[in-house]
Structure 1
Amino acid sequence: MASFTDTLRLPRAFWFVIGAFVVDSMAYFGVLTLMSSYLSSELGWGDVAAGIMVSLFTMSMTLFMLGLGSFAEGFGLRRAILAALALCTVGRLVYSGMGMVHGGVAVTAAVIAAIFVTAVGEAILQPVCYSGVKQYTDEKTSVMGYALIYAIMNALIVAAGTLSAWIRPAVQDVKDGHATTGGFVGWLAGVTPSGIDAVNWVFTGVTALTFVGFFVVFTRKAEAEKLRPDPAEEQRLGATKPRLARLKEYFTEGPFRNPRFLFFIFMLLPVRTLFAHQWLTFPQYILRAYDKDVADHMEWLVNWINPGVIFIGVPLTAALTKRINVYTMMIVGSLVSALPTFLLVGGPDLTRLITYFVVFSIGEALWSARFLEYASELAPPGRVAQYMGLANIPWLLAKGTTGFYSGYMLSRYCAEGVPPAQQHTGTMFLIYGCIAMLSPIGLFAARKWVMAGLHTARAPARAAN
């Protein structure tokens, strides 16, 4: 209980940083869940091109974190977060606006540009906000601080799913002439071309309001209330080494020199492909393989169950398992996440689908926040964003590889317009389950070698702190 009450005494800036990140994350996942459908059906790109574009978006966001997040941290939390939110707002504004324009080379180019502008904003926001969590917590409250940001983010993803599941079918029914309504939904139906685009515009507004709110409440005075100041800004201003030397130092120091830590984070790549399928595969799968009643509530399945379990489970597991070795939690959690994929081999079934989401999410709750906390606490002063960026490399590869085959798999095993009885979704999920199982198997097989050296990587970080 003390773990929870201690966080109530943290500086108000802690909550402002969390607020900026989690509200923007609500908008991010609200748009991302429908991005494949928007590009494939609304803009006419097709499954393969849409899957590749979504993959490039999420991959580039993680890639940008490695450099831009660390670089932006040196300009101070307030300026970095405001710049990130501004970029996300502009990117989503253009992205949503292109749904109202007929297709063409110019529209395609504008959509691609908007997607990458948003990726830059998100790449700055996440590592800087996680650095902020470290700066506004101490060693006693850091575990719960990271658990809270992860849990609250998932709570707002549930809210995003609720909002999307209400707006998308309601607006689309009005557009199709199946219903009439006034109020907000009626207004959206009158000014947007589709239910999906209406959702895009709503979350563009959410991002813009987040920027305005953060600008007002996160004052210089609030920013100064740090418990563990990070010297990144001073290091940037006082840097005397040539840029090339600093770049070499970036890749030759810290965790890059520890093969066990690198194996540790990269072995999580296969199971992370299941996270990418949350937006690359499951929305399209549910919209195509299930009846209209289930399809109209797709966001409830994709954006309710997983974030809901995470919201409740992450703080509890963080408090109950903080004394358990991180590596052990990775093995158990990745196994629990991977196994339920085989439930979907039997074909579309709502009960099995819900069970999959629940069990998969329990596995995520067991290890996700602990891993982020470990990577951040490992970092010496001034390099939190760098270490967080490195910890996200498996995300980069999972997002980058998954999208290059998910569209093809959908077009072959769950094609649009093909009756569910003629689809072969079970084969698709059998392949995905086998890929995911490589993580717990690999982690377990190498456990003695990895655990023998991980503690030596952490010791310098504790001394530096």
Structure 2
Amino acid sequence: MTASIGRRSGLLYFVLAVQALVNAASFISIPLLALYLLKDLGYSAYVMGAVLTTLLVFTRLSPLFTGALADRWGYKRFVLAGLCVRFIGFALVGVQSEAVIFVGVALIGLGGSLYESGTYGYLAHVNKFRSNVFYLNNQALNLGVIAGPILAFFVPHDGYGMFFIASAFAFLGLAIVSIFVFPNDDQVGRSNLRPSFKDLATDFYKDKIFLLFNIISIPWWFLFSQLYVLLPLAFSKKITSGGNELIIYVINGVVGISLTLLLLRRMSFASPLKLMIVGHSILACAYLIPLINNSASIFLLMVVVFSIGETLIMPAMDSFVAKIAPVGREANYFGIANIPWIVGASAGNMIGGKLFEVVDGMIPWIFMSALAVSGALMSLFFLAWLKTNQAIDVAGRRLA
């Protein structure tokens, strides 16, 4: 039994290492996509929003299908396919051709959904044995957030396109490494239950807890999308050198890792919904900080506080989904959980680009703060509803 647990832990850390490297490969270029579209390709704010929404839809809509398929066909093959598709997508975006930009971002999104369906299906399964899996996963992702922008500073470039070429080759290397690193399906210990694709695609409609959780998640994904739209665009007005916008993501990653190291044990055993309430409240305060003055230092202070709220919310949401996902349907539930991401972030991409035009005013920040307050209130009401109905997770434990 001890050997089995040790083996499972070893496999988990291999997967988390790949998670960190995948996020690093993405953060070499993805945070610069909005700037690339506006400055290098000369797109309007609306076209930029359409490209970002295409990326979002393919990343977050396709898991509605890939999640269910990964539960049936195995996690590793989806991970490998996703990394290869992302290699092609990033390469197409990097050639700086308007004709293929939409195809490129669509492939980046599809590759991401294939990869995440396999990875999060595996992590959700392991979470049933270790309560801190998604907090460790958040650490791995934050390591990637830090490493990616740092690596980007060493990419020779004349414009933003070369950052995407660098990401492409990073994903190709990761695909090769994952052939040997990612656990085979017989090592994952997945359930032998294999629901039909029809059941996987429709049964979640009967899960009222899951449906309500998806609804209260929408404000967060709108706010989160601004990390790639409003924040880098606003910060670009305060600096003179292109590419230095990546400091936002270095700060974001450092804060995430530091906070998780300090509070990992407490966060692992805390109520996910209570963490979401606190996180949204912190975000509401963060978005008011730029109202103090228009300096770059004050703006980066806002990024620090934003990152604290994000660090509380993101792993808490993953942990909650893992708690309520039925055995054998873990990847499917994580796939369905992308619906609020699509709704919230699609609106965020379009509105964030428009708000950029008035970013020096008070309206964008007051709007974002008010939305964060609404997210906190929705989470609070949902927690009260769970207590009233004495809701339990798949292991029979109280959810509130």
Same-fold call, TM > 0.5?
Answer: yes
In the alignment, what sits opposite 1:209?
Answer: 173
User: Is the 2:67–2:333 contact (alpha carbons within 8 Å) kept by the matching residues of 1?
Assistant: no
Query: Which of 36, 39, 50 is matched with 2:37 structurally?
Result: 39
In the alignment, what sits opposite 1:264?
Answer: 213
Deviation track 1:331-375 (CA, whole Å, cap 9, x = no partner) reads 112111222101112442233222212222212222321221221
CA-CA distance at 1:122 after TM superposition: 0.3
Deviation track 1:212-236 (CA, whole Å, cap 9, x = no partner) reads 111234475xx5333x42336xx27
Determine if the alignment matches structure 1 residue 437 to structure 2 residue 373: yes
CA-CA distance at 1:401 after TM superposition: 0.9
In the alignment, what sits opposite 2:384?
Answer: 448
In the alignment, what sits opposite 1:54?
Answer: 52
Taking the TM superposition and a 5 Å limit, the aligned residue runs for 1:60-459 are 60-97=58-95, 99=96, 107-135=97-125, 137=126, 139-141=128-130, 143-164=131-152, 166-167=153-154, 188-189=156-157, 194-218=158-182, 220=184, 223-226=185-188, 228-231=189-192, 235=194, 239=196, 246-247=197-198, 249-250=199-200, 252-254=202-204, 256-288=205-237, 290-292=238-240, 297-300=244-247, 302-314=248-260, 316-410=262-356, 412-414=357-359, 424-453=360-389, 455-456=391-392, 458-459=393-394
CA spacing shift, 1:134–1:77, aligned 2, 3 Å: same
User: Is the 2:200–2:329 contact (alpha carbons within 8 Å) kept by the matching residues of 1?
Assistant: no
CA-CA distance at 1:19 after TM superposition: 2.9
CA spacing shift, 1:452–1:389, aligned 2, 3 Å: farther
Deviation track 1:40-60 (CA, whole Å, cap 9, x = no partner) reads 221221222112211231233
**In 2: Cα distance, 1:7 partner to 1:25 partner:** 27
Q: Which runs of 5+ in 1 are unaligned?
A: 1-5, 100-106, 168-184, 240-245, 415-423
User: Is the 1:88–1:122 contact (alpha carbons within 8 Å) kept by the matching residues of 2?
Assistant: yes
CA-CA distance at 1:203 after TM superposition: 1.3
Q: Which amino acid aligns with 1:42?
A: D
**In 2: Cα distance, 1:80 partner to 1:251 partner:** 18
In the alignment, what sits opposite 1:29?
Answer: 27
Q: Secondary structure in 1 aligned to 2:28?
A: helix
User: Is the 1:338–1:433 contact (alpha carbons within 8 Å) kept by the matching residues of 2?
Assistant: yes
CA spacing shift, 1:109–1:260, aligned 2, 3 Å: same
User: Is the 2:91–2:165 contact (alpha carbons within 8 Å) kept by the matching residues of 1?
Assistant: yes
Bigger Rg, which one: 1
User: Is the 1:16–1:214 contact (alpha carbons within 8 Å) kept by the matching residues of 2?
Assistant: no
Aligned length: 395
**In 2: Cα distance, 1:29 partner to 1:425 partner:** 29
Q: Which amino acid aligns with 1:212?
A: I
**In 1: Cα distance, 2:208 partner to 2:180 partner:** 45
CA spacing shift, 1:251–1:16, aligned 2, 3 Å: same
**In 1: Cα distance, 2:266 partner to 2:5 partner:** 16
CA-CA distance at 1:252 after TM superposition: 4.5
CA-CA distance at 1:435 after TM superposition: 2.1
Q: Secondary structure in 1 aligned to 2:326?
A: coil
Deviation track 1:285-328 (CA, whole Å, cap 9, x = no partner) reads 1112x1326x653211x211112121232354341133332222
Q: Which amino acid aligns with 2:239?
A: D
User: Is the 2:46–2:353 contact (alpha carbons within 8 Å) kept by the matching residues of 1?
Assistant: yes
User: Is the 2:145–2:252 contact (alpha carbons within 8 Å) kept by the matching residues of 1?
Assistant: no
Identity of aligned residues (%): 19
User: Is the 1:310–1:365 contact (alpha carbons within 8 Å) kept by the matching residues of 2?
Assistant: yes
Q: Which amino acid aligns with 2:329?
A: R
CA-CA distance at 1:79 after TM superposition: 1.4
**In 1: Cα distance, 2:217 partner to 2:387 partner:** 15
User: Is the 1:18–1:133 contact (alpha carbons within 8 Å) kept by the matching residues of 2?
Assistant: no
**In 2: Cα distance, 1:315 partner to 1:212 partner:** 31
**In 2: Cα distance, 1:219 partner to 1:351 partner:** 44
- Which has the larger displacement, 21-30 or 208-217? 21-30
**In 1: Cα distance, 2:134 partner to 2:31 partner:** 24
Q: Which amino acid aligns with 2:44?
A: G
User: Is the 1:336–1:360 contact (alpha carbons within 8 Å) kept by the matching residues of 2?
Assistant: yes
RMSD (CA atoms)? 2.7
Q: Which amino acid aligns with 1:127?
A: S
Q: Secondary structure in 2 aligned to 1:74?
A: helix
User: Is the 1:344–1:353 contact (alpha carbons within 8 Å) kept by the matching residues of 2?
Assistant: yes
Q: Secondary structure in 2 aligned to 1:292?
A: coil
User: Is the 1:69–1:125 contact (alpha carbons within 8 Å) kept by the matching residues of 2?
Assistant: no
CA-CA distance at 1:445 after TM superposition: 4.3
User: Is the 1:260–1:449 contact (alpha carbons within 8 Å) kept by the matching residues of 2?
Assistant: no
User: Is the 1:95–1:115 contact (alpha carbons within 8 Å) kept by the matching residues of 2?
Assistant: yes
User: Is the 2:79–2:117 contact (alpha carbons within 8 Å) kept by the matching residues of 1?
Assistant: no
Deviation track 1:235-293 (CA, whole Å, cap 9, x = no partner) reads 27xx5xxxxxx43x345524x324344223322322332210011111111112x1326
Q: Secondary structure in 2 aligned to 1:263?
A: helix
User: Is the 1:261–1:450 contact (alpha carbons within 8 Å) kept by the matching residues of 2?
Assistant: no
**In 2: Cα distance, 1:7 partner to 1:399 partner:** 38
In the alignment, what sits opposite 1:243?
Answer: none
CA-CA distance at 1:449 after TM superposition: 2.1
